[in-house]
Chains A and B, each alone.
Chain A
């Protein structure tokens, strides 16, 4: 952790340049560094799941290599598991084989696993934080692009492919080219009914789905500092939707308080040493970013996507845009294709769009705070006739917590379905899918064509908008109730 490397910053003060948060974490994890080569970075935590790991374990077996650090590795079953009848064998034989393969691999290589039915099973990015193994200043990877979620703790966390999963299993390191840094300043105070989800949807609409390519994003400013850990996780989660592999937030008292009583939090003298280190994890006042943008939180409204990429979003009070008014030819073509796929006509008020399914869940908005926010809106109300409300907690622990608070009964009384934990309809890999042309308001992260089921149409929203939409049957915010 003492290796000195040349800094990326441009400014110099008396021979010492300030560093950004991302640069500090990077520097603290360099195992080796040489000119014209990627840095070799140490990985503090490797999260694995059933979909992107089987080929990596096969690679280890072929080469006769062990998992170098099973004690820095943890597995859970999330992407491809059913959310109904979890006490029975998985009905789809191909899915069952994939889950069984993960279990067998974890047993063979000595990796801790939380399987379906276990009280710590759930979406990998919900499980890490709730166990307290996600902590500030760490490098965290997973074969899943939403690993950026853990950046909320001031960790450098990013998604990797299966070749890299194998590399981390074998060596606990990754060769990486240092990314550039971008500051996203969100200053001001959110209005009532506006949430962290609206912040990140507004950011992606502003910088585009490729705006963050090659960068680590650092979310800063008073509106970010005011967010809970759950809210910060929602923001960091969707960094990848802006093209950035990682997004992070400097740890503060909110972070320390969240970590403190978790099962794997440091204890005693280790806690004091950890907090002392964590308090150094902020961007120095004289550090410079390669790029900076600013968002005014005072002006933000509840956001919703109208198209087929997460950058195609607008405030809920807007109308479906007219592609003819888009100057850039490529964007215009994309907007035309998106409206055709979504079955929408330019000029239609977004609030008049009728929805068939509301999905509340995912690693973006499947935590206890999200369920509480939606339940507060739905309490004592009924969902619109013929609408389907699917509530899928992010983890088994979130499910148990929600049940202890009676939230499950709120959703059931309103006419919704209460499911077991998993990725579910966010990616439609298990049986929870939209039918062709079915339209969803979804608290998840991607509105790609066919993402939630072949031909399905997705509008990304916050849990508050999801709940209000479930009641009214058209895209709505709580203020419309």
Chain B
């Protein structure tokens, strides 16, 4: 995974709440067996509307998505994270994220930052009045900066460290594999096994 220290780019205002994973990428786009090529499915139902914010020329090339509350509700499909990344987004800002979506984003290296709704509203106004506004999301300093404003954000130390180091979660766990084996040796014998298959 690529290290994430800080990112600076322009931002897109997505003034909608409860953007569920079926909106981010509908199920019909989930048939691929790779992690790439999902950008064509991103917000596909809304993309057919020329007025949709992603279709506006002034926001072309933006890498920061500024979304309404409860972004990423619904299914566990990590394809939603891949679709955002494949399209070019590096960061999503919202006042609330669904738990599974946030977990997936942190595993896949898409930074999801929680900011108070007032800050989201402020940022929406700023980027709507000047779409060229540069937004910096600094994971090291735990702050979001635009214009003269600086807003701190919270993130747990472990996730921050892992993202800044670009570390593979599985590799970290495999360092503790002896503890896993020790745990397995103590597991109760009545716990079910799928093999051999009984029907």
Contact = CB atoms under 8 A, between A and B. Distances in A.
A373 interface: no
Given A40-B179, A112-B195, 17 more contacts: A2-B186, A32-B176, A32-B179, A42-B180, A51-B77, A79-B27, A131-B199, A132-B192, A133-B192, A147-B76, A158-B100, A159-B100, A162-B104, A264-B193, A427-B22, A446-B74, A448-B74
20 contacts: A36-B157, A40-B176, A52-B76, A79-B27, A112-B194, A133-B192, A163-B104, A171-B177, A210-B70, A277-B190, A330-B17, A427-B22, A427-B75, A428-B28, A429-B31, A446-B22, A448-B23, A448-B74, A451-B27, A454-B26
A213 B174 CA distance: 29
Interface in B110-160: 156-158
Contact of A429 (B20, B28, B103, B156): B28
Contacts of A132: 192
Interface stretch (A15-23, A66-74, A315-323): A66-74
B13 interface: no
B103 A37 contact: no
Interface residues of A, number: 93
Given A161-B103, A446-B74, A213 B98 contact: yes
A462 B49 CA distance: 34
A213 B99 contact: yes
A193 interface: no
A398 to B, nearest CB: 15
Given A1-B188, A145-B76, A210-B69, A163 B169 contact: yes
Interface of A: 1-2, 31-32, 36-38, 40, 42, 44-45, 51-52, 54-55, 58-59, 63, 65, 68, 70-74, 79-80, 92, 94-95, 97-98, 101, 112, 119-120, 131-133, 135, 138, 143-145, 147, 158-164, 166-167, 170-173, 175, 177, 209-210, 213-214, 240, 243-245, 263-266, 270-271, 273-274, 277, 309, 330-331, 333-334, 337, 427-429, 446, 448-451, 454-455
- SS class of chain B's interface: helix, strand, loop or mixed? loop
A31 B179 contact: yes
A425 to B, nearest CB: 11
A94 B194 contact: no
Contact of A94 (B31, B103, B186, B187): B31
Contacts of A138: 191-192
A65 B163 CA distance: 23
Interface stretch (B4-12, B32-40, B55-63, B85-93): B32-40
Given A171-B174, A175-B169, A273-B190, A243 B30 contact: no
B45 A449 contact: yes
A54 B35 CA distance: 9
B22 A451 contact: yes
Interface of B: 16-18, 20, 22-23, 26-28, 30-35, 45, 68-70, 73-79, 81, 96, 98-100, 103-104, 107-108, 156-158, 169-170, 172-174, 176-177, 179-180, 183-184, 186-195, 197-199
Contact of A173 (B23, B77, B173, B198): B173
Contact of B74 (A55, A145, A331): A145
A55 B34 contact: yes
B70 A159 contact: no
A45 B192 CA distance: 8
B75 A145 contact: yes
B97 to A, nearest CB: 8
B99 A243 contact: yes
Nearest to A333: B17
A32 B180 CA distance: 8
A289 B33 CA distance: 41
A330 B68 contact: yes
A334 B174 contact: no
A171 B99 contact: no
Contact of A213 (B16, B96, B107): B96
A448 B26 CA distance: 10
B190 A209 contact: no
A278 to B, nearest CB: 9
B27 A71 contact: no
The 10 A-B residue pairs whose C-beta atoms are closest, nearest first, are A161-B104, A163-B107, A161-B78, A159-B76, A54-B33, A274-B190, A429-B27, A270-B190, A263-B198, A162-B78
B18 A173 contact: no
